[in-house]
Structure 1
């Protein structure tokens, strides 16, 4: 019996007193490198095409001023989030990407590094960025306040967007699944179809949210150059 609506996402599994929840986050380190030692398969060819496409798109977003190789950071972030989002779709696996402890750990250091780099190396550009071009002199103080607030809340919006989108679908699937034992066979078949449709939707959300996180991080980094 759930103590509250979100208790299904609480860390509970442990072996000999050691929490085993976050092992799903690191399982990729064991599983993924094995594929690079095999003869190129369809899986590896598809993944190479995906990463190449992402590299080209992120390079376009960064522009000519971006440092060479900086796209690999965002491709790696995309891969990590995508892997954890998909791991959370399996039964009895802890969904790490639905927790702010995971999403803030990714968003905050990225944003801090962009800000520190920008203010140290491009101070004049960062000050100019606080006032959009064509702003009337009367509104300039207000625009500086608004732009400063929007800059400060960026890591929070990145983290909350990912966590909220991941937890919403999982919560709906859990609530629908808990009604299963009390239903008749005819309604249960409808419930199964609904759950399969939600699972497909959650798979799409897993891809979209990891892509959105990586693209927004790339856009934030392009603003400091």
Structure 2
């Protein structure tokens, strides 16, 4: 039962030992031509409005010297939100539900920020290990806690995104699998519940993309 249940996350389609399901990660690129139409569509205008809003918010979180980095985090948000939404479509592989995908996003970003911070702002990084106003007796413990907190950041980012996407898909699959054994009246209730869960999953897809990008922006603002 568990093998069949989790097989929905298995990239089983392959050609020449290459997992073709991972190609779904780049399906969001199909949206780009709409941005270059002579007359922009409503979806293009909506997306442009979202990008402008995110840029203003990220710019407020970043230091003045890092404002240009908002483009990186907007791109990160776009990649994750497209993959999350595409995963809600039937028979489309959800790459953002795999730790291989989420760790590939969070780990290089965290490592680059730490490397830049410790090389360029060493004193600030050391000072950040001890919050202001900490009693001298607690300073060794605070250094240990802050160090562990910094080390687990890429893992928490990756696990949060993957776990939220897996949980919703598993719940939809479990409820959908009970459909053939239900009566017509209960089946209508199940269908209504599935629609509500799908709407919830759509909201989670946006929220988790936003949380991933905002937390990455906050981590960037801490190194300067």
Q: TM-score, normalised by structure 1?
A: 0.95
**8 A Cα contact 2:5 2:173, kept in partner:** no
Q: Which residue of 2 aligns with 1:10?
A: 10
Indicate whether 1:103 and 2:110 are aligned.
no
- Distance in 2 (CA, whole Å) between partners of 1:201 and 1:86 is 12
Once the two structures are TM-superposed, the CA of residue 19 in structure 1 deviates from its matched residue by 2.3
Q: Which residue of 2 aligns with 1:54?
A: 54
Q: Residues 31-86 of structure 1: CA distance to partner in whole angstroms, max 9, x if unpaired?
A: 1221122121111111111000000000100133x324110000000000000000
- Distance in 1 (CA, whole Å) between partners of 2:157 and 2:111 is 13
Q: Residues 87-139 of structure 1: CA distance to partner in whole angstroms, max 9, x if unpaired?
A: 00000111111100000000001101110010000000000000000111111
Three-state SS of the structure 1 residue aligned to 2:21 is: coil
Indicate the larger mover: 32-41 or 159-168: 32-41
Q: Which residue of 2 aligns with 1:25?
A: 25
Runs of 4+ in 1 over 6 A off after TM superposition: none
- Distance in 1 (CA, whole Å) between partners of 2:87 and 2:149 is 31
Gaps of 5+ in 1: none
Aligned length: 223
Q: 1:153 to 1:2 in 2, by over 3 A?
A: closer
Once the two structures are TM-superposed, the CA of residue 17 in structure 1 deviates from its matched residue by 5.2
Q: Which residue of 2 aligns with 1:158?
A: 157
**8 A Cα contact 2:76 2:213, kept in partner:** yes
